Amino acid sequence: MSLGRARAVALVGLTGVPVDVEVDARSGLPGMSLIGMPDRALGEAVERVRSALGNSGCDLPARRLTINLSPAALPKQGSGFDLAIALAVLAALGIVPREGVAATVFVGELALDGRLRPTAGVLPAVLAARDAGVHTVVVPTANSAEAALVTGIRSLGMSSLREVAIHAGARISVKPVEPLLQSEQSFESDHTPELSDLADVIGQSDAIDGLITAAAGGHHLFLLGPPGSGKTMLAKRLPGILPELSTEEAMQVACVRSLSQAVNLTTIDLRPPFEAPHHTATAAALVGGGSVIRPGAVTRASGGVLFLDEAPEFHASVLDCLREPLETGSVTILRATTRATFPARFQLVMAANPCPCGNYGMPRSECSCAPMARRRYLARLSGPLLDRVDIRLTVARATTSRGPMANDAPVTSAQVRDRVIIARGAARERLRQTPWTINADVAGAYLTGSNLRLPRSVTKPIDMGVERGNLSLRGYDRVLRVAWTIADLDGSTSPSLEHVGRALFLRQGVPT
Ligand SMILES: [Zn+2]
């Protein structure tokens, strides 16, 4: 019996677990079998590895090869195990010295010609290897910049199985190959809004105010307005006025990007992410899924903003999928053998036209929708979803002039971000004895029952709203949360009557 060993990393959600790949080569009916809970894509590794070895000058002898991935109980998915399997085979056959590869982690999918393909999930895999005390990891050249973002581990980028085998000590002739690189399209260009500044937004002072309040309190936001009123323009500017991510948060965002597609990340971006799935998106596109489980838009937005433009156009069952992440800050995807949990803590921004044609209630425009169609349109956004949205704003079509405030210099995103950071600091300090850090998360009962309870002279407008039936109790709590954020932005220790009035105004958009 001759045994070869190499190491790989299995990713369960964003968590990587080192896996030992063992290959036993013995005489018998020639063949190769894979055991240890592989999924289908991984099951196909046998064929890829066989071809890649043959095309790298390492034809397999007539031996029986058994490949075992352990721990067996851990589900393993995807094609990133190819390289480790190939190296363990080479070690079992004595083509590379066994001790040369047994302690090294190999990550990468093989093309049939033996070249290494760009592979998804290299960043979380290298992090897991480092945390498990591994000294060296080999990755495809196309992912080498991404692997190099992890400090404390030596990462080697290589182009082909032949190159890896020679590096490990195989005596086969060198035949250099062109490395396989991923397409030029970078992740950033697709998923980060162009660097746009709040100062570019003209004539929308109420909407900007709502946006700043949403940023300061972490409140979910609903924007109602006709096409062309700048709802998308406003939403795209939210990440720019949010505080930068901590290193830890930014690393998580980068790991999600790495796992979403085979990209070669070159930096850890501290800007909060922005995701805007189209309204035709499926539930799997939104929350994640697929035969090899990939994170969805809610996870790619985690730490940043999820923007649903034309929210009523989304399929009701798709919108329903948002409930779990909104409640728990994470999303769990179940498969027969796998259960993957991904982070999904995002700030939700929904935008909608007032009716299917978009003109209802707008000055100088005529709505062509039937009254029934109009009522049904916004009713598509379910109560439980809207219940979590503290700020609801009506946005009018912007006028071309900057209006009566034209003499004021427009505020820039950087100026606003500084205010947001100070306001968030005040909230964190006030909430330090509680499980919450931002106003949006605070339970209503805490605001009305603790020492944060406001005097009746301040809550008068909303008390009256409840008495008259214009405001639900949930709506009452929402106004209170927003009032605290406005007070934080104002530098006040507690909301005034004026702050409560302002908060009430910021939920005028949609009745509750
Ligand atoms: Zn209409």
How many whole angstroms separate alpha carbon 143 and alpha carbon 107?
10
Q: Measured in angstroms, how far is the CA atom of residue 379 from the centroid of ligand 1?
A: 14
Protein residues placing their CB within 5 Å of the ion ligand 1: 355, 357, 360, 367, 369
Is 254 contained in some domain?
no
Q: Measured in angstroms, how far is the CA atom of residue 43 from the centroid of ligand 1?
A: 54
**For the chain, how big is the Rg over CA atoms in Å?**
28
pTM of the model: 0.89
- What pLDDT shows up at residue 191? 47
Q: Measured in angstroms, how far is the CA atom of residue 280 from the centroid of ligand 1?
A: 21
Is 19 contained in some domain?
yes
Q: Measured in angstroms, how far is the CA atom of residue 286 from the centroid of ligand 1?
A: 28
Is 352 contained in some domain?
no
- What pLDDT shows up at residue 512? 39
Is 110 contained in some domain?
yes
Terminal-to-terminal C-alpha distance of the chain: 73
Q: Measured in angstroms, how far is the CA atom of residue 425 from the centroid of ligand 1?
A: 43
Chain centroid to CA 321: 15
Q: Measured in angstroms, how far is the CA atom of residue 359 from the centroid of ligand 1?
A: 5
Q: Measured in angstroms, how far is the CA atom of residue 370 from the centroid of ligand 1?
A: 8
CB 117 within 8 Å of CB 139:
no
Pick from 157, 206, 220: nearest CA to 384:
220
Q: Measured in angstroms, how far is the CA atom of residue 479 from the centroid of ligand 1?
A: 29
Is 313 contained in some domain?
no
CATH number of the domain residue 31 falls in:
3.30.230.10
Q: Measured in angstroms, how far is the CA atom of residue 224 from the centroid of ligand 1?
A: 13
Q: Measured in angstroms, how far is the CA atom of residue 358 from the centroid of ligand 1?
A: 5
Q: Measured in angstroms, how far is the CA atom of residue 368 from the centroid of ligand 1?
A: 5
Q: Measured in angstroms, how far is the CA atom of residue 310 from the centroid of ligand 1?
A: 14
Our count of domains for the chain comes to 1
Residue ranges, the chain, pLDDT below 50:
184-191, 401-406, 511-512
Q: Measured in angstroms, how far is the CA atom of residue 465 from the centroid of ligand 1?
A: 29
Q: Measured in angstroms, how far is the CA atom of residue 292 from the centroid of ligand 1?
A: 42
Q: Measured in angstroms, how far is the CA atom of residue 354 from the centroid of ligand 1?
A: 7
Q: Measured in angstroms, how far is the CA atom of residue 363 from the centroid of ligand 1?
A: 13
Q: Measured in angstroms, how far is the CA atom of residue 378 from the centroid of ligand 1?
A: 12
Between strands 109-110 and 105-106, the pairing is: unpaired
Q: Measured in angstroms, how far is the CA atom of residue 396 from the centroid of ligand 1?
A: 15
How many whole angstroms separate alpha carbon 470 and alpha carbon 444?
18
User: What tokens were used for 341?
Assistant: 């949990």
Q: Measured in angstroms, how far is the CA atom of residue 357 from the centroid of ligand 1?
A: 4
Answer positive or negative: Cα dihedral of 458, 462, 467, 473: negative
Among left, alpha and beta (phi > 0; psi -120 to 50; other), residue 359 is alpha
Chain centroid to CA 419: 26
Is 43 contained in some domain?
yes
Share of the chain above pLDDT 90, in %: 59
Q: Measured in angstroms, how far is the CA atom of residue 373 from the centroid of ligand 1?
A: 8
Q: How far is CA 12 from CA 9, 242, 327, in A?
A: 10, 30, 22
Is 135 contained in some domain?
yes
Answer positive or negative: Cα dihedral of 46, 50, 51, 56: positive
Cβ neighbours of residue 406 closer than 8 Å, sequence gap 6 or more:
none
- What pLDDT shows up at residue 133? 95
Label residue 180 exposed, middle or buried (CB < 10 Å: 0-12, 13-18, 19+).
middle
Q: Measured in angstroms, how far is the CA atom of residue 397 from the centroid of ligand 1?
A: 15
Q: Measured in angstroms, how far is the CA atom of residue 183 from the centroid of ligand 1?
A: 43
Q: Measured in angstroms, how far is the CA atom of residue 259 from the centroid of ligand 1?
A: 42
Structure-token match 């830890």, residue found: 248
Q: Measured in angstroms, how far is the CA atom of residue 355 from the centroid of ligand 1?
A: 4
Q: Write out the residue range of the structural domain in which residue 141 sits.
A: 2-167
Is 82 contained in some domain?
yes
- Identity of residue 262: A
For residue 305, give the 3-state DSSP assignment: strand
User: Is there a cis peptide before residue 71, judged by omega within 30 degrees of 0?
Assistant: yes
The residues that bridge with 8 in the sheet, in sequence order, are 19
- What pLDDT shows up at residue 450? 80
How many whole angstroms separate alpha carbon 177 and alpha carbon 170?
17
Q: What is the 3-state secondary structure (H, E, C) of 312-362?
A: HHCCHHHHHCCHHHHHHCEEEEECCCCEEEEECCCEEEEEECCCCCCCCCC
How crowded is residue 367: how many other Cβ atoms within 10 Å of its Cβ? Answer: 18
Q: Measured in angstroms, how far is the CA atom of residue 439 from the centroid of ligand 1?
A: 35
- What pLDDT shows up at residue 44? 83
Q: Measured in angstroms, how far is the CA atom of residue 316 from the centroid of ligand 1?
A: 21
How many whole angstroms separate alpha carbon 386 and alpha carbon 398?
25
Q: Measured in angstroms, how far is the CA atom of residue 223 from the centroid of ligand 1?
A: 17
Structure-token match 């195990």, residue found: 81
Q: How far is CA 494 from CA 258, 293, 464, 484, in A?
A: 43, 46, 20, 7
Q: Measured in angstroms, how far is the CA atom of residue 313 from the centroid of ligand 1?
A: 14
In 371-438, alpha helices (H): 371-379, 383-386, 413-430
